[in-house]
Amino acid sequence: MDELISGYKRFREIAWPERKQVFEQLAARGQKPETLVIACSDSRVDPQMIFNAGPGEMFIVRNVANLVPPFGPDANHHGTSAAIEFAVRVLKVKNIVVMGHAQCGGVSALLDGAPPGARDFVPGWMEIAEPARERAMASNLPPAERQRFCEQCCVQLSLENLHSFPWIAERVKAGDLTLNGAYFGVATGQLELLGADGRFQCVPI
């Protein structure tokens, strides 16, 4: 906690004076982000840093392996779906980006089994990505390449599941909401975008 407090003090000393007016405007006018980013909880993958975004620019949802479950309103708890609903139907974002990444622990658990300390919730959550696992296992790729392939398959699966939300499908069809897939290399810092051909290509720098 001491490191967090030290970080907060640096924020107040350096960043707050520079952005005080921005926060005051956001407090007065409310948030109006144009983009929803669905990313992994991995501590190495910070969407705000990767996209160099400021306060109020992005609505961010993070969970294990950046997964979107299929549309299924019921009595169960749906944290990710609730956040998506708020972003799309209340904030009316114009873009949704699902961003996967290299060395994803959730995907490792999907392919190789969850570690002993993460078996209460992780396996059940990763069942969402079973179609991605099946594709990866059928690919006959070496383990390292299979991991990467499965990570990218999870991005594609989440995009497919987003289409199962009727109010997302309606806005996509109307042309006022776009869905995009991305993949971040932790070791390289490179961002790849999913093209119409189903392949991920590096963003030119």
Extended beta strands in the chain, E state: 35-40, 58-63, 95-101, 178-184, 191-194, 200-202
Domain boundaries, given as residue ranges, for the chain: 1-29, 31-202
- pTM for the structure as a whole: 0.95
Q: Give tens-digit pLDDT for 130-186.
A: 999 999 999 999 988 999 999 999 999 999 999 999 999 999 999 999 999 999 999
In this prediction, residue 144 carries a pLDDT of 85
Query: What one-character-per-residue DSSP string does 116-150 give?
Result: TTS-SSHHHHHGGGHHHHHHHHHTT--HHHHHHHH
Contact 99, 155 (CB under 8 A): yes
In this prediction, residue 9 carries a pLDDT of 96
Mean of pLDDT values over 9-15 = 95
Contact 66, 98 (CB under 8 A): yes
Q: Which CATH class, in words, describes the domain spanning 31-202?
A: alpha beta
The maximal CA–CA distance of the chain, rounded, in angstroms, is 55
Which amino acid, one-letter code, is at 161? N
User: Helix and strand tally (H, E) in the chain?
Assistant: 9, 6
Q: Give tens-digit pLDDT for 19-76.
A: 999 999 999 999 999 999 999 999 999 999 999 999 999 999 999 999 999 999 998 9
DSSP state of 164: T
Contact 96, 36 (CB under 8 A): yes
